[in-house]
C-alpha cells in the first residue's frame, strides 16, 4: 500500500496544478492530471510512473518551495515510484528489503560473486581461478556448461515471472482492468518509450546538471541500447553454440564480441553519466529513497559491464578464471535483484504510457 500521507499530498499538489496548468507542455503527467479532479492511490500509481523525472515542472513552478503552496511534483512522484516498486514486487517480503537499496544490492551482488567463485572452486578446483585457459571451450573449463546454463535459465524465468506478476497487478490497478491495452495504445506507448520523448521536457530538456540539459536522455539511451546489444550478443552466442557447435570464447571480430563490446561500453559510459548527473542535480525535487535505488541499480550495472569488459581484455591471461567468476557472480547479483530494483521501472512506465495513450485518445482533438 502507498503511504496515506503521500496520496493526500498528491491530491493537494495536483489540485494546485490543475488550477494552473502551465506545465502542460512539458510532459504527459499534467495532461493526465487534468482528466482527474481528485487523486487517490490508483492515480498515484499511474502518475508516478508516467513521470520521467525531467524535473522541468519544479524549475518552472512559481509555487515551488519556499512558496507556501510548497509544490514539488518530481519529489512526490519519485517517492511514488519507489513505493510502486515495493507494492507490486512479489513476494512483498523480499521487495521490502529494497527499502535500503544500496545495502540490498551490495549484499546480493557480493553473495552472487562469492557463491559463483565457490562453485568454480568446487567444480574445477581452486587452481582454475588463476590458470590460463585458451582455445574453444576455455570458459567451460572454468565453469561447466550445465553449471552456467541451468542457473541462468532459472534466474531468467524467475525474473520474468516476478515482473509479469507485478505488471498484471499494476495494469489491473491503474486500468482499472485491462481494456486500455489496445494495439493502438501499445504502439503509441512503444514509440513514446523508445524515443524517451518525455525526457525532452517539451523541447527544453531536463533540469539537472543545468537547466535544459539533454544529457540524461543521451545517457539513458546509451544504457538502454547497450543493454539490448548485450542481450543480443548473448542470444547470438547461444545460437552459434547451439546450432553451429561453436564454443566461446569467440574471436574479437565476431558478432557476439562486437555486440557485447559496444553494449558494454554503452552501459559503462551511460551509467557513469547518469550517476554524475544525479550527483550534480538539485536534491530538492527528488526522493531520497528513489535516489538510493538509482545509485544501487546504476552501480550494479556498472559492475556487470566493467567486469565483462575486463574479462574480454584479459581472457587470454591467467586472470581469466577469476574474472569469469566475478563477472558471472555480478550477473547473478544483478538478476536476483532486478525484479525489485530500479530495473523494473520500464515495466510500470511502459504500462503507464499505454494507459496514457489510451485515455488521451478521446481528447486527441484537443492539444495535449
Partner 1 sequence: MSDVDVVVCGGGNAALCAAIQARRNGATVTLLEAAPVHLRGGNTRHTRDIRFAHYGPNAAATETYSEQELLDDLLRVTEGETNRPLAELTVRESLTLAQWMQQQGVRWQRPLRGTLQLGRTNGFFLGGGKHLVNTYYETAIRLGVRVEYEAAVRAIECDGTAVRSVVYDRDGAEYRVRCRAAIVAAGGFEADVEWLKEYWGPAAEHFLIRGTPYNKGIALKAMFAVGARQTGDPRGLHCIAVDARAPKFDGGIVTRIDAIPFGIAVNRLGERFYDEGEDLWPKRYAIWGNLIAQQPGQTAFAIFDAKVMGHFIPAVYRPLCAPTMHELACLLELEPARLVTTVDAFNASVAPGGAVQLGVLDDCTTRGLTPPKTHWAQRIDTAPYYAYPLRPGVTFTYLGVEVDADARVIRHDGDAFENLFAAGECMSGNILSRGYLAGFGLTIGSVFGRIAGTRAAARYVRA
Residues forming contacts to partner 1 in the complex (CB under 8 A) are 15-16, 18-26, 31, 34, 37, 56-57, 59-63, 66-69, 202-204, 211-212, 366-368
Please state the closest distance from residue 34 (CB atom) to partner 1, in A. 6
Nearer CB in complex with partner 1: 32/344: 32
Distance CA 130, CA 20 (A): 65
Q: Which residues pair with 211 in a beta bridge?
A: 207
Nearer CB in complex with partner 1: 51/347: 51
Nearer CB in complex with partner 1: 63/346: 63
Please state the closest distance from residue 50 (CB atom) to partner 1, in A. 17
Q: Which residues pair with 213 in a beta bridge?
A: 206
Please state the closest distance from residue 21 (CB atom) to partner 1, in A. 5
Please state the closest distance from residue 23 (CB atom) to partner 1, in A. 6
Could you identify the residue written with the cell 581469466?
320
Please state the closest distance from residue 41 (CB atom) to partner 1, in A. 20
Nearer CB in complex with partner 1: 17/119: 17
Nearer CB in complex with partner 1: 69/90: 69
Q: Nine-digit cell at 49?
A: 510512473
Nearer CB in complex with partner 1: 204/350: 204
Nearer CB in complex with partner 1: 17/306: 17
| Chain centroid, CA 230 distance in Å | 15
Find, among 140, 106, 100, 103, the residue nearest to 123 by Cα.
Answer: 140
Those residues with Cβ within 8 angstroms of residue 19's Cβ, 6 or more apart along the chain or in another chain: none
Mark 195-211 as b/e (b = at least 16 C-beta within 10 Å).
ebebbbbeebbbbbbee
Mark 3-38 as b/e (b = at least 16 C-beta within 10 Å).
eeebbebbbebbbebeeeeebbbbbbbbbbbbebee
Distance CA 139, CA 57 (A): 51
Please state the closest distance from residue 71 (CB atom) to partner 1, in A. 10
Please state the closest distance from residue 15 (CB atom) to partner 1, in A. 6
Please state the closest distance from residue 10 (CB atom) to partner 1, in A. 15
Identify whether the C-beta of residue 42 lies closer than 8 Å to the C-beta of residue 191.
Answer: no
Distance CA 49, CA 67 (A): 26
Nearer CB in complex with partner 1: 56/171: 56
Distance CA 138, CA 311 (A): 12
Find, among 38, 42, 53, 29, the residue nearest to 2 by Cα.
Answer: 42
Amino acid at each position: 500500500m502507498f503511504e496515506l500521507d503521500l496520496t493526500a499530498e498528491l491530491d493537494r499538489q495536483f489540485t494546485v496544478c490543475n488550477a494552473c496548468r502551465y506545465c502542460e507542455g512539458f510532459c504527459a503527467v499534467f495532461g493526465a492530471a487534468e482528466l482527474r479532479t481528485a487523486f487517490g492511490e490508483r492515480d498515484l500509481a499511474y502518475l508516478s510512473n508516467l513521470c520521467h523525472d525531467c524535473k522541468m515542472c519544479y524549475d518552472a513552478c512559481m509555487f515551488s518551495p519556499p512558496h507556501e503552496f510548497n509544490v514539488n511534483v518530481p519529489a512526490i512522484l519519485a517517492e511514488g515510484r519507489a513505493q510502486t516498486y515495493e507494492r507490486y514486487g512479489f513476494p512483498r517480503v523480499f521487495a521490502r528489503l529494497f527499502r535500503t537499496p544500496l545495502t540490498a544490492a551490495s549484499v546480493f551482488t557480493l553473495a552472487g560473486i562469492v557463491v559463483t567463485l565457490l562453485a568454480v572452486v568446487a567444480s574445477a578446483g581452486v587452481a582454475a581461478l588463476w590458470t590460463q585457459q585458451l582455445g574453444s571451450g576455455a570458459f567451460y573449463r572454468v565453469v561447466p556448461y550445465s553449471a552456467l546454463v541451468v542457473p541462468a535459465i532459472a534466474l531468467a524465468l524467475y525474473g520474468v515471472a516476478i515482473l509479469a506478476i507485478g505488471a498484471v497487478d499494476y495494469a489491473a490497478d491503474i486500468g482499472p482492468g485491462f481494456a486500455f491495452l489496445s494495439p493502438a495504445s501499445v504502439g503509441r506507448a512503444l514509440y513514446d518509450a523508445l524515443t524517451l520523448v518525455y525526457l525532452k521536457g517539451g523541447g527544453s530538456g531536463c533540469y539537472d546538471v543545468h537547466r535544459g540539459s539533454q544529457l540524461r536522455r543521451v545517457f539513458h539511451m546509451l544504457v538502454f541500447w547497450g543493454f539490448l546489444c548485450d542481450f543480443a550478443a548473448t542470444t547470438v552466442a547461444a545460437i552459434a553454440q547451439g546450432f553451429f557447435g561453436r564454443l566461446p570464447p569467440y574471436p574479437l571480430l565476431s558478432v557476439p564480441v562486437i555486440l557485447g563490446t559496444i553494449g558494454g561500453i554503452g552501459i559503462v559510459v551511460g551509467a557513469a553519466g547518469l550517476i554524475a548527473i544525479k550527483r550534480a542535480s538539485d536534491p530538492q525535487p527528488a526522493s531520497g529513497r528513489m535516489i538510493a535505488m538509482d545509485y544501487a541499480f546504476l552501480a550494479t550495472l556498472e559492475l556487470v559491464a566493467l567486469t565483462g569488459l575486463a574479462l574480454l581484455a584479459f581472457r587470454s591471461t591467467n586472470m581469466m578464471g577469476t574474472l569469469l567468476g566475478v563477472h558471472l557472480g555480478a550477473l547473478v547479483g544483478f538478476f536476483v535483484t532486478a525484479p525489485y530494483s530500479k530495473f523494473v521501472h520500464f515495466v510500470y512506465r511502459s504500462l503507464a504510457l499505454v494507459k496514457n495513450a489510451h485515455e488521451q485518445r478521446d481528447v486527441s482533438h484537443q492539444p495535449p
